[in-house]
Structure formats: structure tokens, C-alpha cells
Structure 1
Amino acid sequence: MTTTAENPVVPDLADLQRRAAQRAAERAGGQDRLRGHIVCDGLVRIFKTEGVEVVALQGLDLVIDRGELVAIVGASGSGKSTLLNILSGLDTPTAGIARVADYDLLALSARRRLRYRRHTVGFVWQQTGRNLLPYLTARENVELPMRLARRSGGGRARRRRADELLELVGVGYCADRRPGQLSGGEQQRCAVAVAVANDPEVLFADEPTGELDEATGAEVFAALRTINAELGVTVVVVTHDHAVADQVRRTVAIRDGRTASEVRRTARIGADGSTELVSEEYAVLDRTGRMQLPAPFVAALALRDRVRLDLAPDHVQVRPGDRTPDQNGSDA
């Protein structure tokens, strides 16, 4: 599905993407190391409680390149938060492949997992109260991860970096305030600064705008975009917020523990010089050739049980299994 519409923010989006790719290449030491920053292959997570097994992820495949800003969407229970917890080192997968940077997440010792969480990834929770310590100022909250990681440079260097990060996300004026003196949006932007204090390669955010109104949520997401563009950090956001999902180059939808579809957005210059945002939706084909048809397609054609496939020179036709090709079959 392709749609085009004029959008005055597209030039900014395209520029941010270019800057993010450039910073990511600089961090990686060259363009040849850009691909496959996050790799999931046949990822499985099974939870067992009182003899009952719940399969949260069932063979999920996903590749995210270095420097990308990706939104992951899906209904409650689809597995998106489970995926984020695994990639951030908060949970351990049952089977499959999960790799972030140079870390194999299925084979981490406790010591390497701690190092991974301190230095390689940052995390922002949905609940503002989980991101900041209430008895520390915003600056002290940003300095704390650096102190725990024993970053070199001393207190003056930590203070300078904390102030720089708070300015970068637009809350430099909050440096001496405690969380109780900040709005929800200010707290979340401070949380973004805390998450990147140790210069991680990847930033994960779980519904970072979920408790905020639309305008405040836009400010928080702008902070994530700035971090992505200015620092070259790969950013992965789990969200229900369509306003957020529509502002990234790539949105990945998860359904029933597998990647189901992707929307990719590109900025194109029209014949009259105007900039258009072009969105294209794709079904995701896994390594065994399986894919999930979008739910609206299934409903529109009343598909169930089995479907009829016909191979054409440049496409595949999908028809309800109880119809013959001459019964007005439709492409899907």
C-alpha cells in the first residue's frame, strides 16, 4: 500500500535520518559495519507458570541496522514488550538467536550481562517514576550511571556531560530540580538523558509517551529523534501512539509473537520541488517463506483455514480456498 501526502516536517525527518546515519558510521568506524546492529532469528520466549506454558515469542525474525530509529507496534499480548526486555538484557530468551552489537544475548554470563546493560544499551520506561530517583536532581540522576560505570574524568567531567545531555533533550533548565518539581514530559526527557549517559550504542524505550498528552508526547519523541541524529544511537521504541509511529522511517508490527508487517517511509522531491512523504507497507517473509497477511485483507476476503495461491510472472495471487480462479478472485 502506497500513499503520498504533503507534510511540512518531512525535510526535517529526512535530514535527521541522514545525520543519524552519518553519526552511526562514525561510531562504527566505517560504513562496512553499519548493517545488522540488532539481529533476531527464530527468537522464542516461553513463560511457564504453575504448569502452564505461554509462548510470547514464536520464531520472531528482525534485523535493525546501526543508526536506525524504529517503532515497534502491536496489540497487547503480541510480544513487543517481551522482545524489548530481551534485547535490553532484562530477560533471557528461550531459544533462537538474539544479538545486539557484539553480544550474544543467549550466552551472556551475569558479569557480561551487567556490563552490557551499563555500557551498550540504555532504557526508558513508560512509568516516569521508574526512570529517575526522586531524591536526586535531574543533573545528579544523569551523573549516577556514569558514577556506577566508573567513567574516567572525575566529577567535573560528569557534571559537564550531564548538563550537555540535558540541554540536548531540551531540559537544561531542569538541572537543579528534583523529579517532583518536573512535569511528566520533563521527567521523560530527563530519563532519555539518563539512558544515554554512558554513551550506549542502542536506546530502548517502552511506551515512553504512554502517560503523556499528545503535545507533551511529541516533545519526548523529539528528544529521542535528537539523540538518534546527534549521537548516532540506534533507537527502538515500542509504542501504541500512531503519532509516534508515523514519524519514523520504519515501523515494524508484531502479531502473535512474530513480525507481521513493516511500513517504510521515504521523503521524495516532487516535480514542483515540494517534498512528499511516501509510505509503503510490506508483509514480512521469514526464512521459511511464511508471512502473515494483514488482518484487514483477511477480513475483506473472509479468508480462513486455507487459501488458493497462483504464481504470476511478477506476483503471487491469494484467493479464498473455496473459490475457483474464475469467481472474481482478487490479489492480496
Structure 2
Amino acid sequence: MAAPDLATLQRRAAERAAARAGGTDRLRGHIVCDGLVRIFKTEGVEVFALQGLDLVVDRGELVAIVGASGSGKSTMLNVLSGLDVPTAGIARVAGYDLLTMSPRKRLTYRRHTVGFIWQQTARNLLPYLTARENVELPQQLARRGRGAAKRAQELLGMLGVGELANRRPGEMSGGQQQRVAVAVAVANNPEVLFADEPTGELDEATAAEVFGALRTINAELGVTVVIVTHDHSVSSQVRRTVQIRDGRTSAEVRRSARLSEDGVEELITEEYAVIDRSGRLQLPATFVDELALRERVKLTLEPDHVAVFPGQEK
């Protein structure tokens, strides 16, 4: 079966954006995690990498996931991309239940529904194939060989590396390799693209080019994009940044543009703490340190807010 051309995909993306519901139900969304748990066992010791993580991403969103090393963000990405299996909870992407998925369906899911980009450029491309051949390969594996060469060239051109079609990875810069990797990841027209530190090995200017490629895929093809990153220049350019701490979503930053009274466009940035389904929230570490909050705190309910006070030690 031939893959649709880019013009068709762009039209579909526009239609999806126009029809996007954006409901309030916490279990609605293109990507849904609800009480997601992932436990690893090492030498008889259980390690909770994800401890009841909640996350909803709507179709067509471009979201950055941030957090310290060991916070659980890469584990979450591996679960959602089908590379790992959750221990408990809900993990659903594009209607697929990742907890109950059979091995055969998991392979189909990874081949057709999601794309993935690794931080290490060498993991994304086969060194003995040209850029065009690398983009054609996943289409051939998915039995979409007809039109594969044309689609490969179109994708490479869209991402600004069309002139590299006949070069092998060793003949490209790191940034060029990652842009080709983006083309490989979306070769089979996935609904969702996951990227794990895609700019982690690149300088600032080159990282901007790779992020631009991800934005292009999101805007032009309507692909939902989730980026795990430590790069502030990336996380600050998306409308929504989600922070993960200790295996749970702890905070969100949302950015929006509005016109001032003078007619000048202003960027509005608002930060929120996240309340999970059990009513728990994590206070920012800076707040905890500044007020020396330890073990217990006092809460008082005011007409329009909740006040938090340090507990008095006896």
C-alpha cells in the first residue's frame, strides 16, 4: 500500500486541527497516562521508576518533558513508544492500550503508529545506507515500498537536507544526521513522534536546526510530538512543558501569545503545580528550601486559595 503524499498529509493535519475537541475528561487525549507505574527489579530490590504518573497530551500538541536525571522521563518515553512494558496503570497512545498489547500488535504499533529518535545520532541511522535509503527502509519493512523513494526525497527536502540524499551518515554533520533521523522516524506517517534528548550532543545553533525540523513535522504534518530534553532553549520554545520529579508529573509551564493594548504581541508564561488523581501535588523544591518545610505542613482553606505554613515542631 502506497503512503499518502505530503500534500494529502498536510490537508489531513489541517482537518484534524480544525476538529480537535480538547475535552476536559482526564482520560481523553491522543496520549494518556493515568496512575502509570513502572517497577524494575535489580538483585531482589524493587526500584519505582514511575510512581503513578498522570499525563494527557492532545492530538497535534508539541510538548517538552523535563526533569533531573533519574526522574523517570526516559522510562515514560520508553513505555509510550512501545520499547518497554508498564507494570500497572493506564498507558494509551492513539487508542492502543500499552499494558495489554500483544507482542505482534506491539511490533505493528512501533512500525506504523509511533516514531522514535535517540539522542545518540549513530543509533538512528544505518551507517552503510545513504540518507534516502535510510528513509526508504522503514517503508519497505512496513510493506509500503511503492512510492518510498519519492516520499523519502520529499521528507528530506521538507527538513532541509534534500541535497544529502545520496550521502551516508559518516559524510554528514551531527545536526544533519539528526534531521535525517527525523525523516526516518516519520517515514511511515506515524501519529506520534517521540524524541529522547534529540539535541543533547549538538551545539546551540545545530540544536536549533533539529528543533526546527521537529516543529516542521508537528506543524506541517500534524504529528503529535513529545520531546524529552535538558535543553532549556528547546523547552522554552514550546507552548507546554511538563516537569517530572520522582516518577510523577510535578509541574507544568504553559506559554501563550496575546496582543497588548499597544497592539504588540506578548508571550505569557504561567507555571502550575500538578494535582494527581489522589489529590497530591509536589511543591517546587525552591519553595520547600526557602521556607525550610520538613515532614509536616499546615494547610488552611481560604475563600480563593489554599495557604501552606511550616508545621510547628514540638
What's the C-alpha RMSD, in Å, of the aligned pairs? 1.8
Q: Is the 8 A contact 2:20 2:59 kept in 1?
A: no
Partner of 2:278: 288
Aligned equivalent of 1:54: 47
2:310 match: 320
Partner of 1:110: 103
Aligned partner of residue 39 in structure 1, secondary structure: strand
Matched-pair contact (CA < 8 Å) for 1:74–1:254: yes
Distance 1:33 1:46 in 2: 31
Cα displacement (A) at 1:26: 2.4
Matched residue type, 1:173: E
The counterpart of 2:241, out of the listed 241, 251, 262, is: 251
The one-letter code of the counterpart of 1:283 is A
Q: Residue 105 of structure 1: CA displacement?
A: 0.1
- Asked if 2 retains the 8 angstrom alpha-carbon contact of 1:21 and 1:67, the reply is no
Q: Does 1:170 align with 2:163?
A: no
Correspondence for 1:70: 63
Matched, 1:300 2:297: no
- Contact kept? 1:22, 1:232, Cα under 8 Å: no
Task: Give TM-score, length-normalised by structure 2.
Answer: 0.93
Q: CA deviation at 1:30?
A: 3.5
Rounded to whole Å, the distance in 1 between the matches of 2:204 and 2:84 is: 31
Which residue does 1:233 correspond to in 2?
223
1:17 maps to none
Q: Match for residue 269 of structure 2?
A: 279
Q: Which deviates more from structure 2 when the two are superposed, residues 298-307 or residues 229-238?
A: 298-307
Shift of 1:210: 0.2
Deviations 1:80-112 (A, max 9, x none): 000000000000000000000110000111110
Q: CA deviation at 1:170?
A: 1.0
Report if aligned partners of 1:23, 1:229 keep a CA contact under 8 Å in 2.
no
Correspondence 1:149 to 2:142: yes
Retained in 2: the 8 A contact 1:57–1:257?
yes
The answer on 1:198 being equivalent to 2:191 is no
Q: What are the superposed Cα offsets for residues 168-209 of structure 1, whole Å, 9 maximum, x if unpaired? A: 111111111000000000000000000000000000000000
Kept in 1, the 8 Å contact 2:22–2:58? The answer is no
Q: Which shows bigger deviation, 28-37 or 211-220?
A: 28-37
2:19 corresponds in structure 1 to 30
Structure 2: which 5+ residue stretches go unaligned? Answer: 1-8
User: Per the alignment, in what secondary structure is the counterpart of residue 56 of structure 1?
Assistant: strand
* Structure 1 unaligned residues grouped into runs of 5+: 1-19, 324-332
- Is 1:183 the counterpart of 2:173? The answer is yes
Identical-residue share of aligned pairs (%): 76
**Contact 2:130-2:166 within 8 A present in 1 as well:** yes
Offset of residue 23 of structure 1: 5.4
Aligned to 1:159: 149
Amino acid corresponding to residue 61 of structure 2 in structure 1: E
1:82 aligns with 2:72: no
Following superposition, the deviation at residue 21 of structure 1 comes to 11
- Partners of 1:205 and 1:215 lie apart in 2 by 18
Displacement after TM superposition at 1:300 (Å):
0.9
> Does residue 223 in structure 1 map to residue 216 in structure 2?
no
Which residue is 2:114 aligned to?
Answer: 121
Determine the C-alpha separation between the residues in 2 that align with 1:248 and 1:21: 21
Give the distance between the partners of 2:209 and 2:250, measured in 1 at CA: 29
CA contact (8 A) 2:260 2:266 kept: yes
Deviations 1:294-316 (A, max 9, x none): 11111111111011101111101
1:141-191 CA distance string (max 9 Å, x none): 000000000016x2xx11110011001111111111000000000000000
Paired residue total:
301
Q: For residues 95 and 178 of structure 2, what CA distance do their matches in structure 1 show?
A: 29
**Residues 24 and 66 of structure 1 are in contact (CA less than 8 Å); yes or no, is this contact kept in structure 2?**
no
Counterpart among 85, 88, 91 of residue 92 in structure 1: 85
Q: Distance in 1 between matches of 2:238 and 2:296?
A: 35
TM-superposition CA deviations, 1:25-81 (whole Å, max 9, x none): 625893348850000000000000111111100000000000000000000000000
Q: How far apart, CA to CA, are the structure 2 residues paired with 1:268 and 1:131?
A: 39
Query: Is the contact between residue 69 and residue 234 of structure 1 (CA under 8 Å) also seen in structure 2?
Result: yes
**Rounded Cα–Cα distance in structure 2 between residues aligned with 1:288 and 1:235:** 28
| Counterpart amino acid of residue 308 in structure 2 | V
Q: Distance in 2 between matches of 1:293 and 1:127?
A: 34
Q: 2:212 corresponds to which letter in structure 1? A: A
Contact 2:136/2:148 (<8 A) preserved: yes
For the 8 Å contact 2:66–2:230, the answer to whether it is kept is yes
Cα deviation 1:105-158 (Å, max 9, x = unaligned): 001111100000000000000000000000000000000000000016x2xx11
